[in-house]
């Protein structure tokens, strides 16, 4: 089965499994797990931040960020289709008690003029703007890269209003590899950042939250409050450390294969896609031109041993990753062709 539903479906490599078995461990709540400490130190160094915190998932990392930056009744500005707003189960409202103010973006970018207007001034009737969130790469924008120049402009605007910026950088390493810009440069344009180990980097679990040392200390307490205080966590930190050290550069292969997939899909009658819009490892194709409905199309693909996911009523998402090679891309294109003509 060729599983292109997400880059979260990867299996840990033999090297990762070995690292898990051999990991030196301790109680992480007491900060005695040397493998976790090494992972956090490595991530902080790569991201150019003072400190980092190992968390169970990207969602947990993002929600800890909101909890640490804001208080109940505050307002958070974020793009209308961002992961934090769209896919995190309303956790900002349920956990932090904050109000989301969403702005429609273009390929994940909120227009700066609209962002400036959205920042609340002092008024007894309004909630206070306490956080701006960005996402890079942007999932629902098809893995689009937020340009560093744009992020810097957002940061300058936010600083002028004394509002911090948090980056959902679940796939930030994809953005860095595709753009040739180091992750620390992207991270320098925000106050805090979350990066995921279990997406393109292929680790089985975990994300990292990075920021100033003082801020991470406060975030650590929120992690404990959310039940994220882990004990002998080195067994899951070890594959994450290996991912940071060995799995970043190979993301270029995922991007190349995604581009090839997009170019092939564009040649299939009834499938609509702009290959030039595919910048990283996410491919979103419109099948509204087909006579077959979404559910039937996905079932036909599955019978051809290819798994994808519906992204809307008319669009399908394919995500390349370490477990998908060149042959799998060609097999996927053949499977789509067969599913269209079946």
Residue 212's pLDDT is: 98
pTM of the prediction? Answer: 0.97
CB 194 within 8 A of CB 58: yes
Within 8 A by CB and 6+ apart from 341, the residues are: none
* Residue that the structure tokens 């292929």 belong to: 202
Q: Give domain limits for the chain.
A: 14-246, 250-341
- What CATH architecture applies to the domain 14-246? 3-Layer(aba) Sandwich (3.40)
CB 189 within 8 A of CB 155: yes
Residue 219's pLDDT is: 98
Q: Using DSSP bridges, classify how beta strands 315-319 and 309-310 pair: parallel, antiparallel or unpaired.
A: antiparallel
Task: For domain 250-341, give the CATH number.
Answer: 3.90.1150.10
CB 42 within 8 A of CB 146: no
Cα 300 to the center of its chain, rounded Å? 29
Residue 214's pLDDT is: 98
Nearest to 183 by CA among 279, 55, 43: 43
Residue 342's pLDDT is: 65
CB 223 within 8 A of CB 66: no
Within 8 A by CB and 6+ apart from 118, the residues are: 77, 101, 103, 129
DSSP string of 272-336? B--GGG--SSEEEEE-TTSSS-HHHHHHHHHHTTEE-EESSSSEEEEE--TT--HHHHHHHHHHH
CB 206 within 8 A of CB 232: no
pLDDT in tens, the chain (342 residues): 999 999 999 999 999 999 999 999 999 999 999 999 999 999 999 999 999 999 999 999 999 999 999 999 999 999 999 999 999 999 999 999 999 999 999 999 999 999 999 999 889 999 999 999 999 999 999 999 999 999 999 999 999 999 999 999 999 999 999 999 999 999 999 999 999 999 999 999 999 999 999 999 999 999 999 999 999 999 999 999 999 999 999 999 999 999 999 999 999 999 999 999 999 999 999 999 998 999 999 999 999 999 999 999 999 999 999 999 999 999 999 999 999 886
């Amino acid at each position: 089965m060729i599983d292109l539903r997400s880059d979260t479906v990867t299996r840990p490599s033999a090297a990762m499994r070995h690292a898990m078995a051999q990991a030196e461990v301790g109680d992480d709540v007491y900060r005695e797990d040397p493998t976790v400490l090494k992972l956090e130190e490595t991530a902080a160094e790569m991201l150019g931040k003072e400190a980092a915190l190992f968390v169970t998932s990207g969602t947990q990392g993002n929600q800890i960020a909101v909890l640490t930056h804001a208080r109940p009744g505050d307002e958070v500005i974020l793009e209308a289709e961002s992961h934090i707003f769209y896919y995190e189960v309303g956790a900002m409202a349920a956990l932090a008690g904050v109000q989301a103010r969403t702005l429609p973006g273009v390929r994940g970018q909120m227009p700066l003029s609209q962002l400036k207007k959205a920042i609340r001034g002092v008024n007894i009737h309004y909630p206070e703007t306490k956080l701006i969130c960005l996402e890079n790469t942007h999932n629902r924008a098809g893995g689009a890269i937020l340009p560093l120049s744009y992020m810097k402009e957002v940061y300058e605007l936010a600083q002028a209003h004394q509002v911090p910026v948090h980056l959902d950088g679940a796939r930030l390493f994809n953005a860095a590899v595709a753009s040739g810009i180091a992750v620390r440069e992207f991270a320098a344009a925000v106050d805090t950042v979350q990066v995921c180990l279990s997406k393109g980097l292929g680790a089985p679990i975990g994300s990292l939250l990075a920021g100033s040392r003082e801020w991470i200390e406060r975030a650590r307490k929120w992690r404990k409050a959310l039940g994220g205080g882990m004990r002998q966590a080195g067994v899951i930190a070890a594959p994450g450390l290996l991912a940071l050290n060995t799995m970043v550069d190979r993301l270029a292969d995922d991007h190349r294969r995604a581009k090839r997939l997009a170019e092939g899909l564009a040649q299939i009658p009834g499938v609509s896609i702009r290959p030039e819009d595919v910048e990283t490892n996410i491919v979103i194709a419109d099948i509204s031109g087909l006579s077959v409905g979404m559910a039937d199309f996905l079932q036909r693909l599955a019978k051809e041993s290819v798994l994808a996911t519906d992204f809307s009523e008319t669009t399908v998402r394919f995500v390349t990753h370490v477990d998908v090679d060149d042959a799998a891309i060609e097999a996927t294109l053949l499977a789509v062709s067969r599913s269209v003509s079946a």
